[in-house]
Structure 1
């Protein structure tokens, strides 16, 4: 009995010590904030800060797990030192802009989680805070409009994630170090006392970011004067105008010793000059004639055949895809094979002949799982996109193909790429669609990642996500008798029209996909499809969730490097692993860190994406609900469209799709 009592007391004390240990970190944050208030708040602006209330509800304070992670105190006339804040070891955002802090910045090397540091428009002085260069998680650093002096340290190169470095309007001196930061996007050192050559690594920034530093030179400013090499005479003293002993190099002044030689000298000089001029004229004439002949031959050759640029990508069709079969009248099966295909147009589409399509100049847009897409320019200047379906596409018969095309061709929505026409023959199947001139979401997210890239801003990403969601929701709700699916949602199938409006393409073709194609994992595919089953609306939701993660992270969905022993995993699993460690901000694209006050919107979209990518299909929301949630983040209701979206119910009254069409098709 005594042993049990002793054991219970021992367990109680252990739990008490554990609770004390867990709460000690939050109490240290409370103590640090109160010390900061007593030292800095001489005007009483932080009246909500008192020991009787929850510090996570104080003005400017945000917490995660009872630890202070965000401190934003701007334009509050705070003064003194910020040394007490150095113990907020979980702090990720610190903004003290537009206050009256003075003195040097204390050692803040303990703030290892810090990502955003804004100390601009204060009265800080002293040298560049050395402890800042150890904060390797920093994305933004703004020390502008202070009184810092001394040199800019080259150790800033250690901040490999840095997107913003603002040091303008201080008293920094010396040379700009060669800061090689590949992600740096926002940089400014203007209005300082900097001297010397601008490093090549920073020369791509505009001249304004180096202004008001009179002794700076090099691109993009004026060219630096090259130092004179030892033993090389100065140009000024080497000039014939400054040295009367220098003998001119003119041929007319070579022989001046004897008067008798003057006429012969003049004659020789004149003849030499004429010979030089004639030689130049002859050489130029020969070169011009040679170039003319070469270019004329090339021009004449180009007139006889199509442009070589497009020749390799020309769409080669035959109005009778199997002419040899048509010539053999003895075989009935071959005669059926030789039956000529025809172009079938949908309502509202301008008609043209197949031959017009064959004559059109064409360039390849890309290859996908169902075939190759081309841009074709017709004789009248109209542009269309033509998808040439692969031979591997599993079409069992002409009737099945035509029935599916009838359904897809009548889907009309502002966020869908409309099908204009199709062509069916035994060895040739073509789909003619609207041409989208502004490329795909894939290119906007991943294309041209080098210098000169224009990042895709957050507002545009959110707009594209909402538009694509509306397009997919319309497909899902377009017909009661059929549960239509997209079947291949990915960033290359989200295209932008001439006005920047996002449209979903390549929908409904998965019905023709061979089983081995369907079973193939490509990063977007739902787990339940890996055994070869056909896509469903729930698997579409999963694919759309991966698309949202791609928009948020800027990463391709197939394999993401984890950084642990060189391993990799798919995008949804990687995001889940990061979020579990409570480092949610780590998942977002670095290009989004430049935008302010969007954290809540990004986290909101991340939550939608994670719900869509739930491992169990029944746990995923419907696309209509996804549309509503995204629109709530954007701050408005669903946008109306000419073809009633039917987001909450099947669009039985939609003018874009009649029940007759639905009833005449086969189920997917």
Structure 2
């Protein structure tokens, strides 16, 4: 009996110490904690589409202790604390209130996607520190509740279509702030925090003013109008008679009105005749001697209303000019390509713009041309040459770009290679390459419906802007493929050299990747790909990628490097890593080429390594 009691006691103690806690822990694990957080994430999953398989990946509980199996999710103590979905081509709009139940969220990033619609509600997210929605298509205003986030440190909203005014942010924790390239307006709030940030945080917004931008215009005070004294009522009489002088005045005015109308009409007619004479002289003056300023060339059409048409503008900060101003501008040829000629035009206002006259588009309807220009004109990115305006007529089609002053990448790489030339060092080349990749990744993200978003990527279409000792690059002449009527005219574009175009196969985004690989090899080797430009005394290669493959396969790796960078021992490893990327980009089979987003990620890793080694 005593032994049985001892056994029962032992069993009870064992159950209490081991079995019961294990059961409780098992129940603890099986219970789906904080289901409201999962429900909030399900709203995102069901509202957007992306290259990630969120429906396949976001299953089960989002958090297990401090880890998560869900893509883009970071957890702490069973709570979602970070939601990062960057550069995964998210399309669609975000549910307005889905974040309200993720109350421990500290880091939120949806940058480099194609999300449209308004920003989500961020109220009551007291732990939120970083918010990144840059490089999307978001519209509407910046939510006022953002100024009530007590721990906000970083806010990036640049490169969207946000409008309205900037809320008065004044959180002492805020150290990073960028709302550039939107449609914001009004006065920048004069708070201690917002005054910390430079002009680049606010640039390229319509009608935005105040420190650190231009001062807001001060409206003159309205003139004081003395209040009229109460009229003195004349003695009432049964009949009121108008004074004789008023009757005479009425008769004179009635007689003078027709005479004044005729006089104004005559003056307007006279002025129109005077304006017409110099215009006719300009239209016929096409012969300017070489080396002098020439007028912008234009068709000999006598359709005056068409030439006087007001031009549409995409940036309200740019001084407005009309077509006649453009045609009167002194011009200089910047370059002649297969699709037209580009001029620099010096307007009478002092502004300088670049104007491209495009060919092979005469069969294009006005509606098609305008739709494509409106799509491209609204795109804003630091590595794209911005379209300022455009003009359509049956005889001529013009595209007005911002003027980038320091020439093209082709000129920088291949011209003036004689003694005394300042070599283009490796750091400068890597910076230029990274800028090109950023611009291309943005185009591919912003134009997912285009078969080949750029379609004309080559070194002469990469413009250079020097800022002291650093180089920045911008892409131009992009997205012309939808404007060309036939495959025959499309072969004038850079993608005409891609293997799939030559073989008559279907074109995709990967044709752009091929062109990027060729530019990458051109920068690394210093050699001119065949038919890129009529440069003199430059070594041309029939197929640059095949030549590089042959040299690398024979273990002559450094033989591919441009002599200007071969002498420097620094960066050789990074150069060869970039060569590997370039050869993958120029693979004969498009499906084996990486996406531009992946190419950019790898180049940024190489750049970080290069900076650390310095």
User: Where on the TM-score scale, by shorter chain, does this alignment land: which range?
Assistant: 0.3 to 0.5
Q: Report which of the two structures shows the higher radius of gyration computed on alpha carbons.
A: 1
